[in-house]
Each structure stands twice: as structure tokens, then as C-alpha cells.
A = this chain, B = another copy of it.
């Protein structure tokens, strides 16, 4: 049964815990032992008798004999097979062996077993780790299989080891960062989306940064050996703090835990408890699954997690889901879209605080009866008008508001809002694009909310330059500045989703996405900044930035699939608003991050640094970004002339 019921975790794969089993040709019995007695959710079990070798068969019978599979689809129904069994491919296979017979036997067996798994509609098969350094022939064969596969996931088993924890003595020839092993294999298989990883968790763990890499990879399962468990005072299995944190990381990234190995309990219980425990064990063992206490501990860790906050639960469906950024300038938003964003109270509180401070700076107490002209440009359905009026009330300042909005439909709503709220005397609604409005007077304060996930990507700079005409010389713009940020990420899921469109356009487009299964490889760095009002002599909004990223030393190698983008905006003085992780405004949901993909993922070796170039280009009718990687290996230039992705003026 699932590890537990937890709000927000109903749909998570990681609620299910499996157990690794040895070959048993009575699969029905194997299943009931582990599911009923053991209370595990699924079994990772060999499909074929491990003694089977095709080459031996050829000898006696003419191949017409039956393959020694563990039970057929009559013993278990296909639906039982697919919901409770992960096929464990024979561990003896070695497709890169020097021994040709072994190599041929391995290929035949691998194909027969996966064909059989396909016949049973299993959800996944566990492929044994590559034996040596080279895995080319193994990868070729798996890649052939992947071409004709239905929905089965192939989990390549990879031990969770890395150089800095491997014994330093001698054999440096040996491959020691197992991530490299996975990386070559998946590159040989063209990043196929049905090829994923099953991590073998051992007693010693690599560094935090090196573990972090895996959360951006397609890891489906974590096989935890009983060796990596400790034994607590009462003789029960438990895990080290570092192991616990790792398991929580797995839960949080929908990675399923599989318990493997034999129970070590009888050896470990300290003196006093020994006898009692021990004897009671023997009694227990009669009806109890030997690994039950390990499962119970995993379940205990699952229960210890905090439930997901409401906001996170609401956003579950958006995790790692690519969306095209809005084009609010070209398109008109719908009422539902406005309604959603208006619910982001945190954002409007920040705006209200900013307007209040500006009003107080602008109008000293002794002149409190002076009326400040405040213009909301891009008023939408009016949330900033409301925030401004509340700021005026809270500060006891008089204001006169112009609400400028280009979307005629939103204007209809604005009018009924003004009527409902009785703001007729204070608020004037202007149905017009701020860039072309001929204002009757000049504004003291210009309030706008034109920011995209990447700051300037919804053309706030162009719009505010246009509106600056009717801002007084000493007038205030809220926001007064904003900056974009990027950081390199491992994001195989996003990469595969982009790749699935099979065209260039999608590889040269930026996406709005709730990032979840990714690895952030280095701290974000600032890219473009814009300040308002813009008093520079050359008012160009084109930008160019070159950035250097270095991975932490203990990361090892990592794959860069693209860049996560964010923004931070100064509304007024110390009041800011943003999603840059280190300074993000809490409980705000109007903006997810933005993702810039790379056409070809770039692999970074330890110590090497990543040189990235970003451009913001402006044309007569559109604005677009171009980007590329120059080092360690140059990428193609992305989105030249905005051929694939642009924002319309």
C-alpha cells in the first residue's frame, strides 16, 4: 500500500515503494509474499531464469522450445503484471564483453526479455549497469530497442558514486564518477525520453553538489541497499542524516524508492535489547517480511515530510510544463487571466507600499491637501488603481487617477468597476495605448505593471519610454528599475519536451515554466537592467551581456540543457518585487521562471567554466533575444533575427 496519504502527494509516484527480488518461477507467490506480507507496492523481479543462455539452447533443441520465463500472462493478468512488477533484466548480460559468445547471448537475451516485458505491458524494466568503461554496444542495442518500444520505461541502473569518495589509490584509469557513465550512455541513445536512471544508493554518499546534479536528470527510482542503513538503539534500521535528506529529495522529485538486499537486523541490536529483540524477531519472522522494518522506516520518513502548502498544491499541474510567454501588448488578455493575477495580493501590497512612500516623499504633511496626479498605465481591470487609492487613503494624501488601458474589453470592466466603487470623481478611464495617448496634463507618479518573468520581456521598457512624455521632469516611475537574471540548469525533462516538437523554432523559444525537476548548477547572475524615467541621452533598449559561470568544485561534470531566467524589480526605494531565488518575494504567484533552451546540451567538465552571451535586440515591429554558449564548447547562435521567437511591439 502507498507510503501514506499526504495533502498534495496523492498523485506523486514517490508514494509507492518497491522491493528488489531474486528469480522465482512462482511469480504469483513472489508477489503475494512481497505485497501482502511485505506491504510493498511493487516488485523489481527477474523475468527469466538466470541460468538461461541462448547459445546452450541452440545445441540441443531447434529453438522451438519455450523460454524459461517466470510465469506467463495466465499466471498473472496483464494488469497485475503492469501495476506490480518492474522487469529486472538478467544481470549477467555484458554486451561489451570481449567474449563473443557472451556478447551474442547478452544481446539475444536482452531483446527477448524486453519483448516479453512489452508483451506483458510492464511499465518499466531495470537494465543492469554497464560492466566496464565502454558501453557502446550495450547502448546501440538499447537504442535499437527504444525505437520500437511502446510505453515501457527503461531504467539504467547506476551506482551513486563519485571520485571524491572513491579510494584514491592507483587505478585512476577506472571510471569513478558514475554520472559520466550515465551521460555517455544517454548521449549514445540520443537523450531518448524512455531511457531513465535507477540510482543505486550505497552506504557512503558523494558531495551535496554532485548529488544535486541528478535532480535535473530523468531519475525514476532509487534502489537503497540494506547495507546503507544504520541500526538504532532498539535494533531497528534507520538512515544517516545525509541519507535522510537524500530520500526526502527523492520523494520531492517523484523518484520511487526500492529496498534491496537482506535484513541485517539480527547482527546489529546492542546487548541489552539483543535477547528480547532477537527472540521476538524469530517469532515475528514467521509471519513478518524480513525487509518490513526497512519499509516501515521509509514510510516513517515519508510521513515526516511537511504537507505541500496550498499554493504549491495549486501549482502542481504546472511543474515543468512549458508555456509560451504572454504577449499582452499584441494580444488582449482574457477576463479569467486578469482575475487570476488579481488574486496575487502580495504583489499589490508591495505596490501599495511603494505608492505610499512615493506620495509621502512627494507631498510633505504641511501640504497634504495638494492633489497628486497619478497615472496607472496598463490598468487592466483596475487592481493598481485600487492599490493606489488605498495608498492615498492610508497616507492621507489627495490623488487624481488616470487609468490608461489599451484593451477595450478590460475598459468595459473598468467602467463598471468605477461605477460599483463610486470612484467617478477621482478616476478617469482612458481607452488608449499609453504609447500614443495625448495626455491633458502631466503626471507626478506613473504606476505600471508590465513586467514578464524575464523583466523586460513583455516590453515594459518600450511602453514606459512611450509614457515618459507625460511624466513630469521630477516625476516618479513605479517601478523605478528592473533587472533580469539567468543561471545554467540541468533539465532533461524540459529538453525532451522541447525536442519532441522536432523543429528549430521550439529550440529557439523561451518558455514560462514552474521549474521543479531541474538542477541549478551555479548561482544566478544579472543580465539586463532598465531604469525609469530613462534620462540617458541614447535611449536605446538594446542590450548585450557576456557571463561566466563556474560550477562548485565538488560537483563533478554536469549537463547544461539551458538557462533559467528570473527578474527583480525596484518599485520605489527599498520596496522591491521579484522572483530571483535568493531575493524572491514570498507568496507571490504571478510569475513562474523563464527557460531558454540550448539546441545541443553542453557538458561541463569539473573546473571548466561556461561562457554565455545574451542579446536583447530591437526592430521596428518586434523585440527579441539571441543567445549562445562560447565555452567550453561553442553552440550555434540561437534565434538569429528573432526568426523563431519574438515579442510584437
A residues whose Cβ falls under 8 Å from a Cβ of B = 63-64, 66-67, 69, 71-75, 77-79, 81-82, 112, 115-116, 118-121, 150, 332, 334-336, 338-339, 381, 407-413, 415-417, 420, 430-432
Contact = CB atoms under 8 A, between A and B. Distances in A.
A381 B78 CA distance: 13
Contacts of A381: 73-74
B339 A77 contact: yes
Contact of A412 (B66, B121, B332, B409): B66
Q: Report the 3 A-B pairs with minimum CB-CB distance, sorted nearest first.
A: A119-B409, A73-B335, A72-B416
Nearest to A339: B78
Given A115-B409, A409-B115, A336 B416 contact: no
B119 A332 contact: yes
A119 B334 contact: yes
Contact of A74 (B118, B416, B432): B416
Contacts of A415: 66, 72
Contacts of A77: 339
A72 B413 contact: yes
A625 B307 CA distance: 58
Nearest to A415: B66
A336 B121 contact: yes
Given A72-B413, A72-B415, 9 more contacts: A67-B408, A72-B412, A78-B336, A115-B332, A115-B409, A118-B334, A119-B332, A119-B407, A121-B336
Tell me how many chains of this kind the complex includes: 2
B412 A69 contact: yes
B416 A335 contact: no
A583 B336 CA distance: 53
A580 to B, nearest CB: 32
A412 B116 contact: yes
A79 B381 CA distance: 16
Contact of A339 (B69, B73, B334): B73
B72 A334 contact: no
Given A64-B430, A73-B413, A335 B408 contact: no
Contacts of A120: 334-335
A79 B339 CA distance: 10
A431 B64 contact: yes
A74 B417 contact: yes
B74 A413 contact: yes
B335 A420 contact: no
A424 to B, nearest CB: 13
A78 B116 contact: no
16 contacts: A63-B431, A64-B431, A64-B432, A66-B411, A69-B412, A73-B335, A74-B381, A74-B413, A74-B416, A74-B420, A77-B339, A112-B408, A115-B409, A116-B412, A118-B409, A120-B335
A339 B430 CA distance: 67
Contacts of A118: 332, 334, 409
Nearest to A75: B416
A530 B402 CA distance: 81
B417 A115 contact: no
Given A334-B150, A335-B121, A339-B78, A67 B115 contact: no
Contacts of A432: 64
A408 B78 contact: no
Contact of A334 (B66, B67, B78): B78
A17 to B, nearest CB: 26
A432 B63 CA distance: 10
A115 B333 CA distance: 11
A408 B115 contact: yes
Contacts of A75: 416
A134 to B, nearest CB: 30
A75 to B, nearest CB: 7
A408 B109 CA distance: 13
Contacts of A115: 332, 408-409
A87 to B, nearest CB: 13
A77 B67 CA distance: 64
A492 B410 CA distance: 36
A205 B417 CA distance: 48
Nearest to A417: B74
Most buried by B among A72, A79, A118, A420: A72
Contact of A119 (B119, B335, B417, B420): B335
Contacts of A334: 78, 118-121, 150
A66 B429 CA distance: 10
A409 B116 contact: yes
A63 B431 CA distance: 9
A121 B116 CA distance: 49
Contacts of A410: 119
Contacts of A63: 431
A430 B64 CA distance: 7
